Amino acid sequence: MKGRLALVTGGVGDLGTAICRHLYHQGAKIIAADKIASDIANQWQQEQKNQGYDFQVMPVDITEFDSCASMITELVKKHGPLAILVNNAGINRDAQLYKMTPEQWLAVINTDLNGLFNVTRNVIEHMIQEKYGRIISISSVNGLKGQFGQTNYAAAKAGIIGFTKSLALETARFGITVNAIAPGYIESRMVAAIPEKVKQIIIDEIPMKRLAKPEEIAAAVAFLASESSGYITGAHLDVTGGLYMS
């Protein structure tokens, strides 16, 4: 993927940073798109630079179609064709359904599922024109198996898999592959926020008895983003420590 341009949404987060780094090591030029304030983005960019990573950062709100459209227009104008899209941005608002508010439902669906549409819809025509593309979207083990307290998140993450398979059918003839990764529980701020007692029960259920390191998910993303994965499309690669086997 040497010299190819990669866009990573949620690029500034724990998993996003690991993905940016892995793709950078493979020779890609990285644009990290994120909703965070510009001072935090600048600080992150500088920290990465201090560790030898040269990343561009672009502000975007993936829940807004127009925000995605203008970001992608600007990006293509400035940097040329986009070869790799990693749909990584996502949030959770866990609650049992009988306590879940419409706001908790909509926040997750708007970011994790509608955000996937808003970004990919604005990228796809460029990739079709270039007759090349790698789209990798971050689903979740919980989109495959369900999870207590995650009707909203599991619905969105299962939706990502249906979206992936359908888009893979539409774009295979243009040299574009579309795949998903279903990570298990990662050492991240999202997992750190789970109540300690519940987290311990979850770790006990994982055959490997540990959380994933963000780098272990990023390595799978980098594989699907590489030229050598060109015959894989419409797949989901499960990186769950054995928590779910499909």
Q: Which is nearer to ligand CAA, 177 or 188 (CB)?
A: 188
Look up residue 34 and give its two tokens.
């994120």
Closest contact distance (angstroms) between CB of 197 and ligand CAA is: 8
Residues near ligand CAA (CB under 6 A) are 92, 94-96, 99, 140-142, 147-150, 153, 183, 185, 190-191, 194-195, 198, 202
CA–CA gap between residue 101 and residue 154 (Å, rounded): 16
Look up residue 212 and give its two tokens.
């994933």
Give the nearest residue (CB) to ligand CAA: 149
CA–CA gap between residue 32 and residue 57 (Å, rounded): 5
Closest contact distance (angstroms) between CB of 25 and ligand CAA is: 24
Greatest C-alpha distance within the chain: 51
Whether 153 sits among the annotated catalytic residues: the reply is yes
Q: Which is nearer to ligand CAA, 40 or 198 (CB)?
A: 198
Residue 234's Cβ-count burial label (10 Å; 0-12, 13-18, 19+) is middle
Residues 24, 153, 185, 244: which is the catalytic one? 153
Q: Which is nearer to ligand CAA, 97 or 169 (CB)?
A: 97
Nearest of 133, 117, 221 to residue 173 by alpha carbon = 133
Closest contact distance (angstroms) between CB of 205 and ligand CAA is: 9
Catalytic residues, by residue number, are 153
